[in-house]
Amino acid sequence: MTDQWNADRYEKNARFVSELGQGVFNWLNPKAGERILDLGCGDGVLTQKLIDAGAHVLGVDSSPDMIAGAVTRGINAHVADGHALDFSGEFDAVFSNAALHWMTRPDDVIQGVSNALKPGGRFVAEFGGHGNVAAIRTALSSVIRTHTGIRNAPDKIWYFPSPAEHQTRLESAGFTVNRIALIPRPTPIPGDMGAWLDTLAAPVLASVDGALRSVIRDEAAALLRPALCDSDGNWTADYIRLRFEAVAL
């Protein structure tokens, strides 16, 4: 599949994603000398904070362009599919911010993380939870269905579980869940909704013919304007995040 991510576009339109990662970073509480896997590291901005805390960090991401951005920052990072991690008992912790919702086979991801951790290792992550970008998904789904007949296109791209659903998955893989929370976070975004869709819904737009993508983007943004754009032209995305800390047996 063609890489839909672009590190330069992400820096311009989505830097807030890593900037809002302080909460999950605090839950991880990385220690000097720990070996940590950053799953879905993107361009490595938050990975660098783990390194600055004294951890030995490996970053992995499915996007070659984002990994190139991380490597440019001097981070040890390489391309890997989160559904097919091939590590065995190597890490004290696995960390992930704003990435697991792109991995639509969550049981495969969780099992790979379990295999990667040492006994007692921590899995700490934050990603889109139940209800995340509900208005945006509804608008995209409606417009894509109108133009192509494809139903529920965003649901094929994103995984947004409830806390109970994800806790069950973790426990089925042998994790003990210490804490898990759904966190509503309406988030101001830079630029307009069109730029957000181009950047953070790129895989959804890629599910339709190229000639239609800009049409679908613009029509979805127009549908969203009354709900998510204020009278001064400022946009807010309807984010709801799921954050958890789990421990491997």
Q: What pLDDT does residue 19 have? A: 63
Neighbours of 204 (CB within 10 A): 25
In sequence order, the β-bridge partners of residue 127 are: 242
Q: Max alpha carbon distance in the chain (Å)?
A: 53
Q: What pLDDT does residue 8 have? A: 57
The answer to whether position 119 is within a domain reads: yes
Q: What pLDDT does residue 15 have? A: 45
Q: What pLDDT does residue 199 have? A: 87
What stretch of H or E contains 77? Answer: strand 77-79
The answer to whether position 141 is within a domain reads: no
The answer to whether position 184 is within a domain reads: yes
Please give the Cα distance from 207 to 83 (Å, whole number): 20
Please give the Cα distance from 194 to 205 (Å, whole number): 11
The answer to whether position 105 is within a domain reads: yes
Q: What pLDDT does residue 191 have? A: 86
Q: What pLDDT does residue 13 have? A: 44
Please give the Cα distance from 221 to 136 (Å, whole number): 8
Please give the Cα distance from 185 to 97 (Å, whole number): 14
Q: What pLDDT does residue 24 have? A: 94
The answer to whether position 120 is within a domain reads: yes
The answer to whether position 198 is within a domain reads: no
Q: With H, G, I as helix, E, B as strand and everything else as coil, classify residue 221.
A: helix
Q: What pLDDT does residue 2 have? A: 54
Q: What is the pLDDT along the chain (249 residues), one digit of tens a residue?
A: 455 555 555 554 444 455 667 899 999 999 999 999 999 999 999 999 999 999 999 999 999 999 999 999 999 999 999 999 999 999 999 999 999 999 999 999 999 999 999 999 999 999 999 999 999 999 999 999 999 999 999 888 999 999 999 999 999 999 999 999 999 999 999 889 999 999 889 889 998 988 899 999 999 999 999 999 999 999 999 999 999 999 998
The answer to whether position 213 is within a domain reads: no
Residue 85: CATH number of its domain: 3.40.50.150
Please give the Cα distance from 160 to 182 (Å, whole number): 11
The end-to-end CA distance of the chain, in Å, is 35
**Is the separation of the CB atoms in 199 and 10 below 8 Å?**
yes
**Is the separation of the CB atoms in 246 and 170 below 8 Å?**
yes
**Is the separation of the CB atoms in 201 and 136 below 8 Å?**
yes
Range of the domain at 80: 7-132+158-188+238-248
β-pairing verdict for 175-188 and 35-39: unpaired
**Is the separation of the CB atoms in 75 and 51 below 8 Å?**
yes
The answer to whether position 71 is within a domain reads: yes
Total domain count for the chain? 1
